[in-house]
Chain A
Amino acid sequence: MSTAPARLFERPWMRWTIAVVIVALAVVLPLVFPAFTNQTLARIGVFAVAVLGLNVVMGYAGQVSLGQIFFVGLGAYVTAYGVTQNWNIALVFVLSVLIPGVVGLVVALAAARLGGLAIAMVTIALPIVGVPLAKRLSEFTGGSQGLSAIFAKAPTWSGLYDDQWQLYLVLLIGGITFLLTRNLVHGKYGRAFAIVKGNQAVAGSMGVSPYRFKVLAFTVASLIGGVSGFLYMVVVQYTSPETMSFGSSITLLASMVIGGAASILGSVLGGAYYVLVPQLTNAINPNLTAVLQGVILLAVLFILPGGLVSLPRTIRRLWTRTRRGGNPSPPTQAASRQADLAEGSPTERQGQA
């Protein structure tokens, strides 16, 4: 009974319908929403992309990275610098993705030789070095006063408001990034990442070089970080050393875990968490934001250890359990648990979005 709706969602025509509806909504809703909703959604998009990058290296390839915000900040700075120098915006975009990618590659070439926590330590260094570096290189970064770059104003031919135009840009660029990443992690690279994550010795014995795939995952995460940095400038239009503060990096990590590790949809939920929770706690009591954020973090992880993305599964499990609870035959409990496991495993690994 419970598998029927799941089957329904696996049919190709149903998937196409969902895709079409999502695209239609993405096109139409920005026209309908008030400005603040659009701006909030755009910010969610920015951080969803950042969380997605983190998910590639941590969720899928299992390498702890505490430095993702550095690549976001680097992408933002490259964008801001390029815009203030009046470079072509397409070139600025390419550079804002490539430069963090190259830096990520160089760091990964060294860091991926290390195991486990040592990688985490190297990645901690990135935002810690990044903030003073951004302050010091003031001819490029504007020092502690930061850089403003306003380039994402809606062109007059579009007839759109700025917030609508910015949200469309985020949806388009972010959407493509998500699609490409989904294809990457669902294909052979995704399987390789999963093996590297599971057991490096096994990976080696199967001809999958853990070192190469760790470097790859790290580089892809930095590239995606760069995309996020570009979008950050589209939406926030300002960057300063505080953009890449270590605290933000930790919040990004928490957002990934809360959204759901190794899940595409979880990345979107993570972005939503990153943006909405400060807004929510501000609405409750602006003097207690830090405490409330801690409480929410604990509550979500306690109730949903698999992250927000596991909510439907948890509900379904509870639902089947209560339904079966009325049924006196004992073996069904074990059977339902087995069914849960069967259903759960692909979602855990691949996160059907």
Chain B
Amino acid sequence: MNMRRRVKGVLGVVAVTSAIALTLAGCSRGGDDASGSSAPSPGITDTTVTLGITTPLSGATAGPGTCTVAGITAYFGAKNAAGGVKFGDGKTRKVEIKSLDDGYDPQKAAANYQQLKDSVFAMTAGLGTPTNRAWREAAISDKVPQVLVMTGDPIFSDQKQSPWQLGFVPIYQNEGEAFGKLLASSSAPHKVAILSQNDDYGKGYVEGFMAGIKGASNITVVKELTYEATDTSVDAQLTELASTGADVFFNAMSITPLVISSLNKAQSLGWKPSWFLPSNTSSPGAILQKANDVSVYPGIYSVAFSKAAASPAFANDEDMKTFLSDLKKYANYPDTPEFPHCAWSYMVGATLDQAFQKMTSPTRDDFMKALRSISDYQAPLMLPDTAVDTTKDGSPAVSTVLVQKYNGKGYATVTTWQ
């Protein structure tokens, strides 16, 4: 008898809980998004617009990650202090930035996106291929812009696959191609040896280089070798490549210590070609000056599209002075940035500003249209002859890079093969 009463009690509890819950369930998610397309999207009001960033602020990539937030914060900090950004619909809005740390973990990046998507107008500037890929599909199905992100992965700039995305920095192919074209324009014949990292990074560079030298009869690729990103030495590959007697060495390598040791190894083998190095492993201070005397090589080439903060060549540049003081004043970043990402992120801010000025209604749809219509825009800190162009399908916002040659202190743009 006692037992039966208890069972009744249990059933009662269940019934009441279910009833309450179902009532609540009926109330939740009432607001369907059936309203017209001219209604403002989330994250934008008549006086503010909010941007979201998920990027690594802790862990191994925290340095560049912090820069991706600092640059854009500095740009809009200065704009806000001057009153705000004037939008194409006639309203002036202040730009707010919500940034979250993902520690370069795709799972956390996806979580950050889910947390931000309903309170921000657009996601932007985040660093990393896996951390942007993790929520690319979700952003597409939620129709949330994921724009001007810092990844060299071409998928973000393919409009068919990524209708709500746009990459900012040049893809690996752009860099390889720029160098290939310069080399092809040379009047002399060249023998090229290629070493590349055996992944999408290395393959992207080589693919671009091959496209650049296509049809050039004066260029022969004499040998192409690869190494693994986990290798601690590439001496064997270098010895093999040196034996070809190539006069140009295209080295698509992303690992700093390996670049330094290859510069030294080639010298000790008596092989003195001209070098090409990717933009992220060609730093004068961190790489070239750490290796043995690199002046024995006829040339060390790389590519760039932004002015380098650490370079003495731009110490008195107006853009550079404003950029550094904005960083200090609005982004709490007092040092001269070591990573180019601070400058890139600043340019992202300027590019978004352009899109905002073209927007005629406060919707994400209209924003994407405005963003995809910017061409020939020279953002602050950009090198002459490079520009933001968002109108080309398949290309990131910045796809022009200039080949640079090392002159013993820093890099200078070259337009012909000397």
Interface residues in chain A, defined as those with a beta carbon under 8 Å from any beta carbon in chain B? 13, 16-17, 20-21, 24-25, 28-29, 31-36, 39-40, 43, 132, 135-136, 138, 143-146, 148, 150, 161, 232, 236-243, 245, 247-248, 275, 278-279, 281-282, 286-287, 289-290
Contact = CB atoms under 8 A, between A and B. Distances in A.
A24 B57 contact: no
12 contacts: A13-B7, A13-B10, A21-B17, A31-B21, A39-B114, A138-B200, A144-B129, A150-B137, A281-B101, A282-B100, A289-B57, A290-B59
Interface of B: 3, 6-7, 9-10, 13-14, 17-18, 21-22, 24-25, 28-29, 57-59, 66, 99-101, 103-108, 110-112, 114-115, 118, 129-131, 133-138, 153, 155, 198-201, 228-230
B10 A20 contact: yes
Q: Which 3 A-B pairs have the closest CB atoms?
A: A28-B21, A240-B130, A290-B58
B10 A286 contact: no
A279 B153 CA distance: 27
A82 B183 CA distance: 44
Contact of B10 (A16, A33, A275): A16
A260 B133 CA distance: 34
**Chain B CB within 10 Å, residue with most, of A13, A135, A240, A286:** A286
Q: What's the dominant secondary structure at chain B's contact region? A: helix
B107 A243 contact: yes
A239 B155 CA distance: 16
Contacts of B114: 35-36, 39-40
Given A232-B107, A236-B106, A278-B101, A132 B200 contact: no
A279 B115 contact: yes
A161 to B, nearest CB: 7
B380 to A, nearest CB: 25
Given A40-B111, A144-B130, A248 B17 contact: no
Contacts of A150: 137
A146 B106 contact: yes
Contact of A161 (B18, B24, B29): B29
A240 B134 contact: yes
B57 A278 contact: no
Contact of A148 (B112, B115, B131, B137): B137
Given A144-B201, A287-B57, A34 B228 contact: no
Contact of A31 (B17, B25, B118): B25
**Chain A CB within 10 Å, residue with most, of B3, B9, B18, B29:** B29
Contact of A275 (B13, B111, B155, B229): B111
Nearest to B7: A13
A282 B101 contact: yes
A285 to B, nearest CB: 9
A145 B132 CA distance: 10
Contact of B130 (A16, A39, A146, A232): A146
Contacts of A239: 106
A238 B110 contact: yes
Nearest to B11: A20
